[in-house]
Structure 1
Amino acid sequence: MEVLRVPVSQDLSGFVAMLRRMQLPFRVSEEAGEQVLRAPAELAEHLRKLYAEFPDGNAPLDAMPAPPAPRIAMFATPLRSVPFTALVLLATLVIALITHVGENFETIRWFSFTDFRIQGDYAYFASLEQSLDAGQWWRLFTPMFIHFGWLHLAMNSLWYWELGRRIETRQGVFALLGLTLLYSLVSNFAQYAYGGTGIFGGLSGVLYGLLGHCWLYQKLAPGEAYRLPSGVVVLMLAWLVICLTGVIEVVSFGALAIANSAHVGGLVAGCLTGVCGGMLARSRHAR
């Protein structure tokens, strides 16, 4: 996380040398005319106190205070700090159990984008207009909770935890709520518009929205919360391109159908919100 931010005219070399002597993990970068020192969150307060006392790094080795012992956080602690992320994951798990992870069509129809009925070997779908005229507005969002198989559920849940908690930590509960609903709406409409009526679902459209948001927000307003692990964006975009080629359907002999329109729609929406949010954050910081 960000620990210090000082003008580039200020000499940090002595303080940096002291941190190296102490063998503490840190990184210094130049951003918008300032030097930014980042370090693990548990060392932040310790490093600030060190800088306040020894800004030139001229403390004798025996006078340097010891860094705090690393804290081992319980799993329940981060859950309490990101309640909406945890709530979405809980709802996803519950609906996966209700729908037997995509095998119980009688319960899947409650959450699908449009209603349908199974008769013999055929599925008959209502139009979106018919579903909305019946007051079933929840269908615009609930396909994100439908998953087809435990691997599908596990992968999407892990990525939502990784991306959702970043946004909730930096921008708050209501920002993540609004973005999740927006990306779900856009990705579902995109899949319905280009893929036609059918059963589709999963958090992946929302995930591509969260990815695009974090990616471009970080480009415009750098911060520790949205600093994704190296290669994540490249990996996700490469997977999107591979899916768009249709090779996954060919290799799986049609057993795996990828909601490509939902992925692209979510990513475009996420990139737009990331640019808007990053520009706003940058302008606030400039003031």
Structure 2
Amino acid sequence: MSAVEVLRLPLTVDLSGFIALLQRLDVPYRVSEESGEQVLWVPGDQLAEQVRGLYARFPDGDPHFQLQVEAPKAPERVGFLAQLMHSRITSLVLLVTLVVAALTNLGDNFSVIRWLSFQDFQIEGDYVYFSPLAEGLEAGQWWRLVSPMLIHFGILHLAMNGMWFWELGRRIESRQGGLMLLVLTLGFSLVSDFAQYFSSGATLFGGLSGVLYGLLGHCWVFQRLAPCPAYRLPPGVMAMMLVWLLICLSGLITALGFGAIANGAHVGGLVAGCATGLLGGALARLRR
């Protein structure tokens, strides 16, 4: 059964009460953002008419009202290609990441990695010599401030980060647009890279994990201030990620031989994400 458009409203309209009513009534729905408007979808024409009537009577929700409807079928799943087109910036970032992973041979091709690392470096025998950061910036290599997010060391590192960016990036792109996702991604990369640089000094680091902690913090705080379906994460996700962060900070992962963890990048990204979520959520709440 195909999804049917029920309502098309400005982003300033607060749908949280009505969405809560649909959830209490077990009515399947989906909310998307299109051309600066929020669109409510349900499966089937019959259910769409009933939900329109329900909104006309109870736009803010009503805990005592019960809707008698036939058990609807699940909404039609959106194809993967359609998801890629709907989440273009998310897809673009992941595509560039995959290309870099191929060019760097998942962290083994240092001749390519040195052009994307936070600082340029030379390998002489068993030693790595890093060039000063200021030297690279003076040479116009400003991309180094954000490009480490594209470097991944191993297939597991790439798969985990790619999976989480696909999940979180699509949420932000659907709610706040592709341009905002791109700004947040580059901003969190910049902050997390500097945080790692100041915490560990001249070292080779990379990956999307600092950005991911930023996106996670953004969604979490934004949802607390201005609830919206797109940022409603599954229960326990935030707790799991914080527990993982604490385990990494303890040094246990490194001690077990799984390699060094960019803890500075994780903490820096999370703090930056909570800050942007606070600002974005507060502005969204004021608009409502």
Q: Normalising by structure 2, report the TM-score.
A: 0.81
The equivalent of 1:284 in structure 2 is 287
The equivalent of 2:263 in structure 1 is 260
The equivalent of 1:159 in structure 2 is 164
The 5 Å alignment of 1:120-159 reads 120-159=125-164
Match of residue 274, structure 1, among 274, 277, 288: 277
The 5 Å alignment of 1:134-283 reads 134-252=139-257, 255-283=258-286
The 3 A distance-change label for structure 1 pair 162 and 145 is: same
* 8 Å CA contact 1:42, 1:71 repeated in 2: no
Q: Normalising by structure 1, report the TM-score.
A: 0.81
Q: What letter matches 1:197 in structure 2?
A: A
Report the alpha carbon displacement of residue 44 of structure 1 after superposing the two structures with TM: 8.9
The 3 A distance-change label for structure 1 pair 259 and 45 is: farther
CA deviations on 1:125-155 (whole Å, 9 max, x unpaired) are 0011011011100000000000000000000
* 8 Å CA contact 1:169, 1:225 repeated in 2: yes
* Structure 1 segments of 4+ aligned residues over 2 angstroms from their partners: 2-8, 40-48, 51-59, 64-70
Unaligned runs of 5+ in 2: 1-5, 8-13, 30-39, 59-64
The equivalent of 1:86 in structure 2 is 91
* 8 Å CA contact 2:16, 2:228 repeated in 1: no
* 8 Å CA contact 2:120, 2:130 repeated in 1: yes
Q: Is it true that 1:49 corresponds to 2:54 in the alignment? A: no
* 8 Å CA contact 2:193, 2:265 repeated in 1: yes
The equivalent of 1:117 in structure 2 is 122
Classify the secondary structure of the residue corresponding to 1:198. Answer: coil
The 3 A distance-change label for structure 1 pair 265 and 221 is: same
CA distance in 1, matches of 2:233, 2:268: 21
* 8 Å CA contact 1:96, 1:102 repeated in 2: yes
Unaligned runs of 5+ in 1: 27-39
Match of residue 100, structure 2, among 95, 114, 122: 95
Report the alpha carbon displacement of residue 117 of structure 1 after superposing the two structures with TM: 0.9
Q: What letter matches 1:241 in structure 2?
A: L
Report the alpha carbon displacement of residue 121 of structure 1 after superposing the two structures with TM: 1.5
Q: What letter matches 1:266 in structure 2?
A: G
CA distance in 2, matches of 1:216, 1:123: 40
